[in-house]
Amino acid sequence: MLRCREISEQASDHIDGRLSAGARMQMAMHLLMCGRCRSFMRQMRLTVAALRARDEESLSAGRAAELASAAMVASRISDEKED
Ligand SMILES: [Zn+2]
């Protein structure tokens, strides 16, 4: 099972469609069980879409997702309790 931190690390690759089938499956399973990561992914997609719309030429989805992830990881996932 992936940890929330791994979800956040793979989010940009997921949005860009760069994850392997196995990685997508693992992420999907985690998202089924973890509401926090579901909302994280939703916000990530919205943020990427907004950044892309604003700065379409110069900002890849991956870069936008990294920016969004850095901000959200710091505020949302830093206090996770796992293991
Ligand atoms: Zn999670």
3-19 pLDDT, tens digit each: 999 998 898 888 888 99
Distance 18 CA to ligand 1 centre (A): 20
Q: Which of 28, 23, 26, 46 is nearest to 38 (CA)?
A: 28
pTM above 0.75, yes or no: no
The per-residue pLDDT for 58 is 64
Residue 22 has pLDDT above 90, yes or no: yes
Q: Which two tokens stand for residue 77?
A: 């996932």
pLDDT digits (tens, 9 = 90+) for 65-83: 777 777 666 665 555 555 5
Ligand 1 centroid to 12 CA: how many Å? 15
- CA 70 remoteness from chain centre: 10
**Stretch 13-30: mean pLDDT, rounded?**
92
Element (H, E) at 33: helix 21-33
pLDDT for 81: 52
Closest alpha carbon to 77 in 48, 50, 44: 44
Ligand 1: centre distance to CA 35 (Å): 7
What does the alpha-carbon distance between residue 78 and residue 73 come to, in Å, rounded to a whole number?
6
